[in-house]
């Protein structure tokens, strides 16, 4: 599996989580991956901040929450993805 930036991170996520329905990690909305554009795969640590495509750095968000989060690490990221964020930071500084 390629964890580098730029590889197909949606495929990485959905290969590991093949179920049709997912919940937004922030708001909890039930999402159907068969509906185009409903499910987004987000980098917890954004790619522009050297986040990788490691599965531990990927999460499902609804389009609205992904737009609000943008490419930031903010309070929402810390609240809902704190453990994954810590794992990704540790991975970067090994």
pLDDT digit string, tens, across residues 17-31: 999 999 999 999 999
Query: Within a domain: residue 85?
Result: yes
37: left (phi over 0), alpha (psi -120 to 50) or beta: left
Query: Within a domain: residue 86?
Result: yes
The domain tally of the chain equals 1
**β-bridge partners, 59:** 42
Query: Within a domain: residue 2?
Result: no
What does the mean pLDDT of the chain come to?
A: 82
Question: 32: domain CATH number?
Answer: 1.10.30
Query: Within a domain: residue 35?
Result: yes
pLDDT digit string, tens, across residues 38-55: 999 999 888 888 888 999
Indicate whether 62 pLDDT > 90: yes
What per-residue confidence (pLDDT) applies to 58?
94
What per-residue confidence (pLDDT) applies to 40?
94
Query: Within a domain: residue 38?
Result: yes
Nearest Cα neighbor of 12 from 53, 66, 57 is 53
Nearest Cα neighbor of 9 from 45, 35, 38 is 45
Q: What percent of the chain has pLDDT over 90?
A: 45
Q: What is the H or E stretch that residue 43 is in?
A: strand 39-43
**Is the Cβ–Cβ distance between 39 and 32 less than 8 Å?**
yes
């Amino acid at each position: 599996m390629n964890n580098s930036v730029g590889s197909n991170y949606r495929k990485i996520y959905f290969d590991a989580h093949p179920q049709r329905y997912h919940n937004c990690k922030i708001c909890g909305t039930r999402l159907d991956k068969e509906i185009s554009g409903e499910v987004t795969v987000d980098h917890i640590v954004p790619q522009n901040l050297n986040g990788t495509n490691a599965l531990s750095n990927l999460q499902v968000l609804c389009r609205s929450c992904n737009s609000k989060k943008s490419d930031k690490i903010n309070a929402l990221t810390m609240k809902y993805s704190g453990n994954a964020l810590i794992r990704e930071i540790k991975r970067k500084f090994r």
